[in-house]
Amino acid sequence: MIIPTRRSSAILLGLALVAAAATGGMANSGASAVQCGIAASSERGMLALEGTVLSPTPLSGEYRLAIRSSGNGGSSNISQGGYFTANANEATPLGKVLINAGSSYDVVFDVTADGKTLDCDQDLASLR
């Protein structure tokens, strides 16, 4: 997924609403399926991207989080992954990356559990 360049002011303005909507939607969700996505926030003047998974039952598996970013400060390719365990009905962070706030970036976030691989590239706000 390619996400267009974002400006710091737009990020700061929208992040509180995104976080509140995502947390409220996830906590109150009656969904019976595993949900996952990318949470974006501002941290020390940088853009923090964090893979997150939510399951109605305890879950264990593997994840892969890869981010390619580019901006005025150059470019970077970051890849993280490994095994995880998640408690039921608890948003569990899986990998975190800080990039320049004005950067364009491409995210690949996959979660494999119970023999299924989930494409989790969507923004966390789109989870219901």
Q: What is the CA radius of gyration of the chain?
A: 14
Arithmetic mean of pLDDT over the chain:
78
pLDDT (tens digit per residue) in 5-55: 443 333 333 333 333 333 333 333 445 689 999 999 999 999 999 999 999
The number of domains in the chain is 1
- Give the global pTM: 0.70
Q: What is the pLDDT of residue 14?
A: 36
Q: What is the pLDDT of residue 126?
A: 54
At a CB cut-off of 8 Å and minimum separation 6, what does 52 contact?
36, 37, 38, 39, 91, 92, 93, 94, 124
What CATH number does the domain containing 19 carry?
A: 2.60.40.2420
- Look up the domain containing 27 and give its range: 2-126
What is the amino acid identity at position 74?
A: G
More confident residue, 126 or 28: 126
Weakest mean pLDDT among 23-27, 82-86, 122-126: 23-27
pLDDT band at 123 (very low <50, low <70, confident <90, very high): confident
